[in-house]
A and B are shown apart, each in its own frame.
Chain A
Amino acid sequence: MAKKTKKDKNLIELCEGVVLCEDFFEQKEKRILTLLLKGFIVYLLSMGTIGFYLSAIHAEYNALLCHMVVFVFAILCSMLYYRLFTENLGYFFIFVTFASLVYLLRIYINSGFYAIVNMSVEEAAQYFDVDIQRLYNEQIENRYLTITMIALFIGIVLDILLNVYISRRMQYATAMFIVMFFNVIPLYMTLEPDILYAMMILVGISLAYVIKVSRHYSPQVAIKRSDSKYETRGKKKREFFYTYDVKALSQASLIVFIFVAAVVTIVSTVRPKESFNAGYKQNKYKEVTMAAVGIFLTDGWSGFFNYGQDKGGMNSGKLGTVSSIRLDYQTDLMIKITPYSFDTIYLKHFVGESYNPYENYWTSIRYFQNSEDTVNISSAEAEALKENYEQGGTNSAKAVIGIRNIDGDRNGIYEPYYIGEISDYNDVGYINEVFYPRLRGNDTVVDTSYYDSEPFTDMDLYVPEENIAAIEEFIQNFDHSGTDEEIISNLVNYYQDNIPYTIKPGKTPRKKDFVNYFLTENKKGYCAHYASAATLILRYLGIPTRYVEGYAISYYQLSDAELVEGKEYSDYYDGYSELGKTAVLQINATDADAHAWIEVYSEDKGWYLVDVTPAGEVEENEDFWDMFDNTTDDDAADSDDGGNQFNVNISDSFVKGVVYVIIGIIAGIIVVLLGIRAIAGIALMIRFLKSGLNDRLIIRYSSYYKRRSRFNKEFKNKINYLEQIQYIYNVKKEKLARKNEEKAMEFEKQFDIERIIDILNRAGFSDKEILQEEYDYVSKILF
C-alpha cells in the first residue's frame, strides 16, 4: 500500500476525516495534443482568412505551399505555450527570424501587397463602375510569386496573432473579428470565396467557440504550463475541473466539423454561391455606403474631407481645393419651361468678377443675398431684347421659366439669359422669371444707351499679376490675333485640341495657383478650369470677361422631361421658337447639371455667354461635382518622386484620416473600458442590493480596500484585517490630530479595532448574520 508522502501536505479535505490526495492533480494528460489541436484551429483560421480573400478576388498563388507553411507555423506557434521558457524564447526567435526574412524579401512582399490591393481595386472598379486611376506600382511583375510571398507573410502574422487569442486566451470573438475584418471587403463587392476557405473559417470559429464555452482547456492552466488533468476552482476548493481531455476535444471537433461540412454542403447545393445574388436588389443602406466607398476608392481618405462648400452643385467660385462633394443626384431645382431651341439653357447663379490668385477663388460681382432682392434684376441686354420683342423684332421671343429651389444654394435666384423681370404668374412654390432669349437670327444690338453706367469696369479686365506670366506663356500656343470672336474661337479650339477634359485632374497643390497650375503644369481639367483660365486670358487680351457658375440644361435633358398637365403654352412662351409650339415641361436639375462658363462683352451683343469647356464634356463629365470630386494630391506627388512605389500619394487628408481613425479607436477603447467598468459597477451594485448584511459589509470593505490600495502601496501590503484596520486607524487618527485634537480623541474612543475585526470576521466567515447596528458602526468608522 502507498504510504502518505510529502506530496500529501496540500491535501484538500473532502469531508472531516477524508482528504483528496495530491495524486488526483498529478494525473497527466497529453497537453501537447491539445496544443496541437489548438494549433490546427489557428491554421484553419489563418489559412482560411488568406484563402478567403485571395480566392474571392481570384488571385493565383501557390496555395499548397501556403497551406504547408501556415500549418507548420501555426503548430509551431501553439507549441510555444508548452513551457514558459519556450514561449519567451520562441517568440523572440520567431520575431528575429521573421523580421530578417521580411527585410530580405521586402520587395516581394511589397509587390505582393500592391498586387492584392491592385486586384482588389480592379474588382472594386468593376463593381462600382468607376474609373480608378490610382494603382500601386508593383516592382516585381510575377504576381504568382509575389502573391504567394504576401500570403505567406500574412499567414505567419495571422498565425502569431490568432495563436495568442486561440491557444492562450481563447477569445473566439476577437479571433472572429480579426478573421472577418478584411474579408468583409470582397463580400461587400459580392465576391464570394472558395467553399474550402469559407468552411475552414466556419469550422475554426465554431471550434474556438465550443472550446471557449466548455470552460476547460483554459488559459490559466496554459500559463501554469502544467500537464495536470485536473485543477481546483473556487476559494473553498470544492470544484474540481478537468483541464485537458484531448480525446473528448477531438471528438467534439469531429462533430463540429461534420456539422459545418454538412451545412456548407447543403446550403451550397440548395443555394449555390454563383446564383446566390441572382435577382437580388441591393438594400438601400448598402447603396448609401456605396457612394462613400466609391469616393474612397477614387479619392482615398481625402475624399471624405470637403474643402469647398457644398451648395447643391454650386461651388460659388471656390476652386481647386474642393475634393469630395458627393453627387447625390437629388433634385436641386425643379424647372418648368417650354423648349424653344436646341441650345443648352443656362441658369446663372454666381458671377465671378475678380480672381484671387493662390487663394483660388472668385469674388462675386453679383451674388444675390436673398431671393427677395429681385427688383433690379433686369440687365441692359434684357432691356434691348425686350424692346426688340415688343417691337416684333426678328426671332424675338418672351419666355417664362418657373424655378423652384429644392436643394440648391438659396443665396440668390437662378437667372436664365436674359432675365427681364419676375412674373406675377401664380404657380405656388415657383419663382416665375420672364426672360428674352437671344435666338439664332436675333441680331438685337445692345449699345451703351441701354446701360445705366459703363457696360463693364476695370475689374472685368483685371488680371492679377501672379497670373500674367503663365498667361503670356500660354497664349503663345494659339493665335490670339483678330477679332474678339476669332480670339475666343481660337482659344476654345485650342482647349479642345490640346487640353483634355478630365473629371480627375487632381487637387491643385498647396501654394499653387489654380489657373497657373492648369495652364502650365497640369494641362487638364474640368469646366471650372477652362472658364477661370479663359476669363483671365481674354481679359489679358483686352476682352471684358466674367466667370460664371450655374446650371446648364441641355436639349437632350429637355427631351426627357415630364409634360406638365394643365399649363398653357401661351403662359410660358410667346414669340419665335426654333422648335415650333411645344408644351410646358418640368425638368429636375441636379448636382450633375452644375456647370461653369464665361460671359464676354461685345459692343453689339453686350454681355453674352460663351461655354469654353471642350466638347466631350457631355460624354465624360455628366456632372459638375465629378470635376470637384477627384482630388489626387499632386502636391504630395511632387515631393514623392524619390522611389516611392505609390502612384497614390499620401496627402494631408490621409494623415488627417489616420489621425481621426486613431482618435476614433482611442475613443472607442475608452468607451469600451468605461462601459466595462460601468457594467462591473452595476453588477456589483446588484449583488450588493441582493446581499445580506454580511455580504454587504464584505463587498463594501473589498471595494474600499481595492480603492485605497490602488494608490497606497503601504496599505496594499497589509495582508490581514488586523494590519489593515490598524493602518486605517493610524492614518485617520494622525490626519484628525493635525486638524483638531478633540476630534482625534473622540475618534480614538470610537474606533474599536478589535470590534471592527470581529465584525468583519463574522461577516466574512460566519453563517450568522451581523447586526444592523454593527454594520452601521463599521460603515461609519471605516467608509
Chain B
Amino acid sequence: MESIIRIIIYGILLFINGLFYYFLHSHFYFMLMVIMIVSPFLSIIMAFILRRFTDVSIISAINSIGGEYARQNERAYFYIKISNPTPFVSLDTIVKLKIKNTFFETEGFHKISMPIRMMKGSKVEIPVLATLPGIIELNVEKIYIKDLMGFVRLKKKKTSDARVAVMPEIIGEYNYDRTALEQGSLESEESSKKGNDFSDVQEIREYIPGDKLMSIHWKLSAKRDILMVKDRASMSDRQLVALVELVKNNSNQLNMILSSAYTLINQIVSDGTTVRLMYWSESRFEYETTRIDYRSDLDEAFSKMYYEKTYIDMNQGASHMTAVHPEIKSYLHITSDSERCLLNIRENI
C-alpha cells in the first residue's frame, strides 16, 4: 500500500513536471524529467541486485565478554548481520524476526528496520534478557529490501537462526539436611573422592580431550606414558540421585523447578558431592541420566535437558522410578505444585 501511494504521488509529480516541461520547454526541466523517469528503474534494479547478493545471518554471543551459556536475568547478545558485496545501498530493509523459548514453547514476532551499507553490509546488536531459562532462539526467515526511491520492497527468503541456552538463576542458598541427603549417597561420594574405588569403573581407556582431570588414572598413565582415564559409566545406589520433574502447568512452575534444581545441585556439587541428575524424557520414554561433578557438568546437563518436552503431571518422572531403576534406594525429588517448589528425599519403593 505504501509503495502504491508513493508511486501515485510520484506519478503526480512526474505529470506536473511534464506539464512544466511542456509549458516552458526548459533544459532544466528536461533534465529533471530524465532523472525522474530513469531513477525509478535504476533504483529498482539496484534493489534486485541487492536481493540477489545480500545474505543475512544471525549469530549469538552469550554475553559481551563471551561465554558458553547465558544466565537467567542477565544479558545475552544476538547479532543480525546483512552482508552486501555490491556497491548499492538500501536505507530501509526490514528483517522479520521470530523469537522463541523452545523449552517453554513461547514465541513472538518482531521487525527490525536497518540499512544495508554498500560493500560491507550492516550489523545490528540485539541485547536480550531471558526472564525464563531454556533455549532462546532467534530466527530470520525473510528480509524485505526497499529500493532507494521507495517503489518496491523485495522479499528475500533466507533462513538463519541462532540459539542460546539460558541457565536458571541461582536463587540463594539452601540449608539442606545433609544427613538426609547422605542416606544413600555418601558411600559413593567418599569412594569417588578417594579416587581409588574401581567398583563403578566400567573401563579404562585413553584420554579424550574434554575428560575431567579427576578421571585420569595417574598411576596407569605414568606406566604407559600416555594419559589413561577411568570411565565411570556405571552408577551405583550410593551416589546422590536428583530427579527433576519437567512439569509445566505454567511457566512459573517450571521456572521454579529449574531454578531450585539448578541452585541446589550447584550448591551440592560446590560442596564436593557428585550428583546424578535424572529427568524423565517424554519423547524417548526413558530416564536421562547425567553425572554432575562440576558446575560445568550441570550447565551441560541443563542445556541438554532443555530439548526435552515438558509435561503436566508433577510426579511423572517419579512414577516410573521403581520400575526402571529399582537399584536406586532413594533420591532427591525436585518438583512443584504450581505454587511452590517441592524438594523431597523419596524412597524408591
Instruction: Flag if B22 contacts A283 (CB, 8 Å).
Output: yes
Instruction: Flag if A2 contacts B64 (CB, 8 Å).
Output: yes
Q: How far is the CA of A11 from the CA of B130 in the complex (A)?
A: 11
Nearest residue (CB) in A for B131 is: A17
Given contacts A17-B251, A251-B117, contact A192 B28 (CB under 8 A): yes
- B110-132 residues with Cβ-Cβ distance < 8 A to A are 110-118, 122, 124-132
Residues of chain B contacted by A245 (CB below 8 angstroms): 91, 114-115, 117, 122
Instruction: Flag if A2 contacts B63 (CB, 8 Å).
Output: yes
Q: How far is the CA of A2 from the CA of B64 in the complex (A)?
A: 8
Identify the stretch in A182-190, A399-407, A555-563 within 8 Å (CB) of chain B at 4 or more residues: A182-190
Instruction: Flag if B31 contacts A264 (CB, 8 Å).
Output: yes
Q: How far is the CA of A237 from the CA of B136 in the complex (A)?
A: 20
- A1-46 residues with Cβ-Cβ distance < 8 A to B are 1-4, 8, 11, 13-21, 23-24, 27
Q: How far is the CA of A268 from the CA of B30 in the complex (A)?
A: 10
Given contacts A4-B74, A24-B127, A255-B89, contact A16 B67 (CB under 8 A): no
Task: Tell me the interface secondary structure of chain B in the complex.
Answer: mixed
Q: Mark B204-247, 1 if CB is under 8 A from A, else 0.
A: 00000000000000000000000000000000000000000000
Q: How far is the CA of A285 from the CA of B23 in the complex (A)?
A: 7
Contact-residue bracket for chain B:
35 or more
Q: Mark B88-114, 1 if CB is under 8 A from A, else 0.
A: 110110000101110010111111111
Instruction: Flag if A240 contacts B99 (CB, 8 Å).
Output: no
Given contacts A8-B129, A210-B91, contact A198 B28 (CB under 8 A): yes
Given contacts A17-B251, A192-B28, A210-B91, contact A1 B127 (CB under 8 A): no
Instruction: Flag if A1 contacts B65 (CB, 8 Å).
Output: yes
Q: How far is the CA of A367 from the CA of B91 in the complex (A)?
A: 76
Instruction: Flag if B75 contacts A241 (CB, 8 Å).
Output: no
Least CB distance, A237 to chain B, in whole angstroms: 9
The 8 Å CB contact of A276, one of B23, B27, B126, B132, is B27
Query: B322 interface residue, CB < 8 Å from A?
Result: no
Identify the stretch in B32-40, B259-267, B298-306 within 8 Å (CB) of chain A at 4 or more residues: B32-40
Q: How far is the CA of A209 from the CA of B148 in the complex (A)?
A: 9
Query: A51 interface residue, CB < 8 Å from B?
Result: no
Residues of chain A contacted by B97 (CB below 8 angstroms): 14
Instruction: Flag if B113 contacts A251 (CB, 8 Å).
Output: no
Instruction: Flag if B132 contacts A16 (CB, 8 Å).
Output: yes
Residues of chain A contacted by B31 (CB below 8 angstroms): 198, 202, 263-264, 267-268
Q: How far is the CA of A16 from the CA of B250 in the complex (A)?
A: 12
Instruction: Flag if A215 contacts B113 (CB, 8 Å).
Output: yes
Query: B343 interface residue, CB < 8 Å from A?
Result: no
Given contacts A11-B129, A210-B148, A252-B89, contact A240 B106 (CB under 8 A): no
The 8 Å CB contact of B127, one of A23, A239, A242, is A23
Least CB distance, B83 to chain A, in whole angstroms: 14
Least CB distance, A257 to chain B, in whole angstroms: 12
Instruction: Flag if B24 contacts A184 (CB, 8 Å).
Output: yes
Instruction: Flag if B108 contacts A14 (CB, 8 Å).
Output: yes
Instruction: Flag if A216 contacts B127 (CB, 8 Å).
Output: no
- B8-30 residues with Cβ-Cβ distance < 8 A to A are 13, 20, 22-30
Query: B71 interface residue, CB < 8 Å from A?
Result: yes
Instruction: Flag if B75 contacts A18 (CB, 8 Å).
Output: no
The 8 Å CB contact of B114, one of A183, A242, A247, A251, is A242
Nearest residue (CB) in A for B128 is: A18
The 8 Å CB contact of B6, one of A3, A8, A192, A213, is A213
Q: Mark A244-276, 1 if CB is under 8 A from B, else 0.
A: 010111011001100110011001100101001
Instruction: Flag if B25 contacts A206 (CB, 8 Å).
Output: no
Query: B149 interface residue, CB < 8 Å from A?
Result: yes
Query: B342 interface residue, CB < 8 Å from A?
Result: no
Q: How far is the CA of A263 from the CA of B36 in the complex (A)?
A: 10
Question: Which residue, of A18, A173, A210, A215, has the highest number of chain B Cβ atoms within 10 A?
Answer: A18
Nearest residue (CB) in A for B25 is: A280
Q: How far is the CA of A239 from the CA of B67 in the complex (A)?
A: 29
Least CB distance, A415 to chain B, in whole angstroms: 45
Instruction: Flag if A248 contacts B111 (CB, 8 Å).
Output: no
Query: A286 interface residue, CB < 8 Å from B?
Result: yes
The 8 Å CB contact of A14, one of B99, B116, B125, is B99
Q: How far is the CA of A209 from the CA of B31 in the complex (A)?
A: 16
Query: A440 interface residue, CB < 8 Å from B?
Result: no
Query: A277 interface residue, CB < 8 Å from B?
Result: yes
Q: How far is the CA of A37 from the CA of B226 in the complex (A)?
A: 67
The 8 Å CB contact of B100, one of A15, A19, A183, is A15
- A380-435 residues with Cβ-Cβ distance < 8 A to B are none
Q: Mark A653-677, 1 if CB is under 8 A from B, else 0.
A: 0000000000000000000000000
Instruction: Flag if B101 contacts A17 (CB, 8 Å).
Output: yes
Residues of chain A contacted by B101 (CB below 8 angstroms): 15-18
Least CB distance, A9 to chain B, in whole angstroms: 12
Query: B42 interface residue, CB < 8 Å from A?
Result: yes
What are the nearest 9 A-B pairs in CB distance?
A15-B108, A213-B150, A17-B132, A248-B115, A214-B91, A16-B106, A273-B27, A21-B127, A14-B99
Chain B interface (Cβ < 8 Å from any Cβ of A): 6, 13, 20, 22-32, 34-35, 38-39, 42, 46, 63-65, 67, 71, 73-75, 87-89, 91-92, 97, 99-101, 104, 106-118, 122, 124-132, 134, 136, 146, 148-150, 251
CB pairs A–B below 8 angstroms (7 shown): A4-B129, A19-B129, A19-B131, A20-B128, A213-B150, A241-B113, A273-B27
7 extra interchain contacts, Cβ-Cβ under 8 A, other than A1-B65, A18-B108, A202-B31?
A1-B75, A206-B35, A206-B39, A216-B92, A245-B117, A263-B35, A264-B31
Chain A interface (Cβ < 8 Å from any Cβ of B): 1-4, 8, 11, 13-21, 23-24, 27, 52, 173, 183-184, 187-188, 190, 192-193, 198, 202, 206, 209-211, 213-216, 238-242, 245, 247-249, 251-252, 255-256, 259-260, 263-264, 267-268, 271, 273, 276-277, 280, 282-283, 285-286
